[in-house]
Chain A
Amino acid sequence: MDLLFQFLSNTGYYLADYRNVIMIVIGSVFLYLGTAKKYEPLLLVPIGFGILVGNIPFFKGFGLGIYENNSVLHYLYFGVTTGLYPSIVFLGLGAMTDFSSLLARPSLMLLGAAAQMGIFFTLLGALALGFLPREAASIAIIGGADGPTSIFLTAKLAPHLIGPIAIAAYSYMALIPVIQPPIMRLLTSRQERLIRMPELRDVSKKERIIFPAVAVILCCFLAPASIPLLGTFFFGNFLKECGVADRLAQTARTSIIDTATILLGLTVGASTQGDVFLTPKSVAIFVLGAVAFSIATASGVIFAKIMNLFLKEKINPLLGAAGVSAVPGSAREVHLVGQSEDPENFLLMHAMACNSSGVIGSAICAGILWSFMIVL
């Protein structure tokens, strides 16, 4: 009988507390959004399931939990805490990205830079709310709307915040269709939304091959701390464009990125154990994340309007919203908002130019913030 009671007292049903239940509900919502609503399913499904796995109560000391040494989850989590998975995800992203539209209209890169302003506004906000500089920098990077970059920087600066920051970053990426359109409509007039963009010129293969080599040198010389992200990103892109390593490029954009995404999502989700995750800090991170993402979107749109003051050939200011690095979600949203005003207005390719420059911009920001924190 004692054995039975002992067994029962070690079950999850006995050990569960309200925080685990709350997190399991949150995980279920993620699974629902990913599966039924198809909001970023490749991210929300692994994270959602990871939240369920990470919040099953267990008897401490068995080596089961993600924060316990020698547990399987702990070993898998190693890729997160070292910044390995984000680096591998960037390799795959590079092998998927087509920079043709950016090469055809390089001025759109400025919108990718403008959208990074959300990061620096949020840095100030987080410091003002009492976060330490390393924590504030990790929270600020959510404004880049780039999950792997957020995880990478947080792993380096404030590893104890990886869970809430990763969940916040991916949540806002998934909620792009909800967050961005109202901001875009609020900041633009109908006339502005109707502006059509000229057709992009053809970009030669040589340009596409040379670009990643030039870009990796320029960006990484500027912010060497971004080498783990931009180095693999542009390497992946070079594999894609050089035409002699198609097999490697194919593997990078399929098996490798898929494996890294699965492990990243599952372990980040599992890192949200209720007792560690549900703290006032997490709530503040979620609020600041929303502010960061909104400011990033608004900065891009406003900067596009400022550019129009000087340009003879006006650009559609909606494109500024695609300067955040949520690829391709925000580009798709810009295109849809443009088409809701004029069904024959095709903004997707131009928006992808802003979007891909946003990826580069947010990785540079991560490198810059990391460098600042080393100096501090």
Chain B
Amino acid sequence: MYGFTAISTHNGWAMAIAGALIVFAGLVVLSSIISQLHKVLLFWEKRHPVFKNNHKMPENDKPEGQEDTPVSPLPKEFPTDLDEIARLYQPLIDEIGETFYLSDLYEIARKNDFPHPHITFTAFRESEILVPCGDGVFSWNPPTENEDNDNG
């Protein structure tokens, strides 16, 4: 048996159409899910502290007299060199994760009394220390030259 008769007899049309649709649907679903993965992770990283770490207590439950300590103690004279400033921001980045919304970085910088976060962020973006990942999400690209100096 040959030709269209053979295709019809063996249910070929149905197999080809159904197969193509199934593989397409499968990969569309997979791509949709992984396109949201980084947003879900970001949301997960920003969840309430009580869920974030079982060992941490909510703020209200902390023993009296134990106050919040800033993530990063600031020097008396704030540096003007951008790389130095980036180093001071590093503990904040460690706190909020590899990728973050700029508003979150702003909030934590303000809480820690960093001066002029807006101007600093603009400078970070221009020097590509803050790298846009799309959808308002940024990643941190710390300057590497200073590491050598630290080690040396």
- Indicate, yes or no, whether A interacts with B: yes
Q: Which residues of A contact B (CB under 8 A)?
A: 102-103, 106-107, 109-110, 112-114, 116-117, 119-121, 123-124, 127-130, 132-133, 136, 201-207, 210-211, 214-215, 218-219, 222-223, 357, 360-361, 364-365, 368-369, 372, 376
* Chain B residues with CB below 8 A from A114, complex form: 24
Report B1-44 CB contacts with A as 1/0, cut-off 8 Å.
Answer: 11110110011110111111011111111111111011001000
With A121-B16, A123-B15, A204-B38 already in contact, the answer to whether A130 and B27 are too (CB < 8 A) is: no
* Chain A residues with CB below 8 A from B29, complex form: 218
Nearest first, the 6 A-B pairs at minimum CB distance are A109-B31, A106-B31, A113-B27, A120-B16, A201-B133, A106-B35
* Chain A residues with CB below 8 A from B26, complex form: 113, 218-219, 222-223, 364
With A202-B133, A368-B22 already in contact, the answer to whether A113 and B12 are too (CB < 8 A) is: no
CB distance from A45 to the nearest CB of B (A): 32
CB distance from B20 to the nearest CB of A (A): 5
* Chain B residues with CB below 8 A from A119, complex form: 19
CB distance from A146 to the nearest CB of B (A): 13
Main secondary structure of the interface of A (DSSP, over half): helix
Q: Which residues of B contact A (CB under 8 A)?
A: 1-4, 6-7, 10-13, 15-20, 22-35, 37-38, 41, 98-99, 131, 133-134, 139
Question: In the complex, are the beta carbons of A218 and B30 less than 8 A apart?
Answer: yes
Q: What CA separation (Å) do A149 and B70 show in the bound complex?
A: 56
* Chain B residues with CB below 8 A from A205, complex form: 98
Question: In the complex, are the beta carbons of A215 and B30 less than 8 A apart?
Answer: yes
* Given A120-B15, A124-B12, A204-B41, 13 other A-B residues pairs in contact with their CB atoms under 8 A: A113-B27, A120-B16, A207-B41, A210-B41, A211-B34, A215-B34, A222-B26, A223-B26, A360-B27, A361-B23, A369-B15, A372-B15, A376-B11
Question: In the complex, are the beta carbons of B19 and A110 less than 8 A apart?
Answer: no
Question: In the complex, are the beta carbons of B4 and A128 less than 8 A apart?
Answer: yes
Q: What CA separation (Å) do A5 and B23 show in the bound complex?
A: 61
CB distance from B73 to the nearest CB of A (A): 28
Q: What CA separation (Å) do A372 and B11 show in the bound complex?
A: 10
Contact of B27 among A110, A121, A133 (CB under 8 A): A110
Can you list 13 A-B pairs, Cβ within 8 angstroms, ordered by A?
A: A109-B27, A127-B10, A128-B3, A130-B6, A132-B10, A204-B98, A205-B98, A207-B34, A218-B26, A218-B33, A222-B25, A360-B30, A361-B27
* Chain B residues with CB below 8 A from A210, complex form: 37, 41
* Chain B residues with CB below 8 A from A128, complex form: 2-4, 6-7, 12
Question: In the complex, are the beta carbons of A201 and B134 less than 8 A apart?
Answer: yes
Please, which residue of chain B has its CB at the minimum distance from the CB of A201? B133
Please, which residue of chain B has its CB at the minimum distance from the CB of A132? B10
Please, which residue of chain A has its CB at the minimum distance from the CB of B37? A207
* Chain B residues with CB below 8 A from A207, complex form: 34, 37-38, 41
* Chain A residues with CB below 8 A from B20, complex form: 116-117, 120
* Chain A residues with CB below 8 A from B133, complex form: 201-202
With A218-B30, A368-B23 already in contact, the answer to whether A124 and B7 are too (CB < 8 A) is: yes
* Chain A residues with CB below 8 A from B134, complex form: 201
* Chain A residues with CB below 8 A from B99, complex form: 202, 204
CB distance from B18 to the nearest CB of A (A): 8
Q: What CA separation (Å) do A136 and B29 show in the bound complex?
A: 28
Question: In the complex, are the beta carbons of B19 and A369 less than 8 A apart?
Answer: yes
With A202-B131, A368-B23 already in contact, the answer to whether A211 and B37 are too (CB < 8 A) is: yes
CB distance from B32 to the nearest CB of A (A): 7
* Chain A residues with CB below 8 A from B37, complex form: 103, 207, 210-211, 214
Q: What CA separation (Å) do A207 and B42 show in the bound complex?
A: 10
Contact of A130 among B2, B4, B16, B17 (CB under 8 A): B2
Contact of A372 among B6, B19, B24 (CB under 8 A): B19
Contact of A133 among B10, B30, B34, B41 (CB under 8 A): B10
Please, which residue of chain A has its CB at the minimum distance from the CB of B36? A106
Q: What CA separation (Å) do A107 and B27 show in the bound complex?
A: 10
Question: In the complex, are the beta carbons of B2 and A107 less than 8 A apart?
Answer: no
* Chain A residues with CB below 8 A from B15, complex form: 120, 123, 133, 369, 372
* Chain A residues with CB below 8 A from B24, complex form: 110, 113-114
Q: What CA separation (Å) do A203 and B7 show in the bound complex?
A: 45
Q: What CA separation (Å) do A215 and B27 show in the bound complex?
A: 10
Q: What CA separation (Å) do A12 and B108 show in the bound complex?
A: 81
Please, which residue of chain B has its CB at the minimum distance from the CB of A206? B41
Q: What CA separation (Å) do A116 and B20 show in the bound complex?
A: 8
Q: What CA separation (Å) do A110 and B27 show in the bound complex?
A: 7
Q: What CA separation (Å) do A120 and B25 show in the bound complex?
A: 15
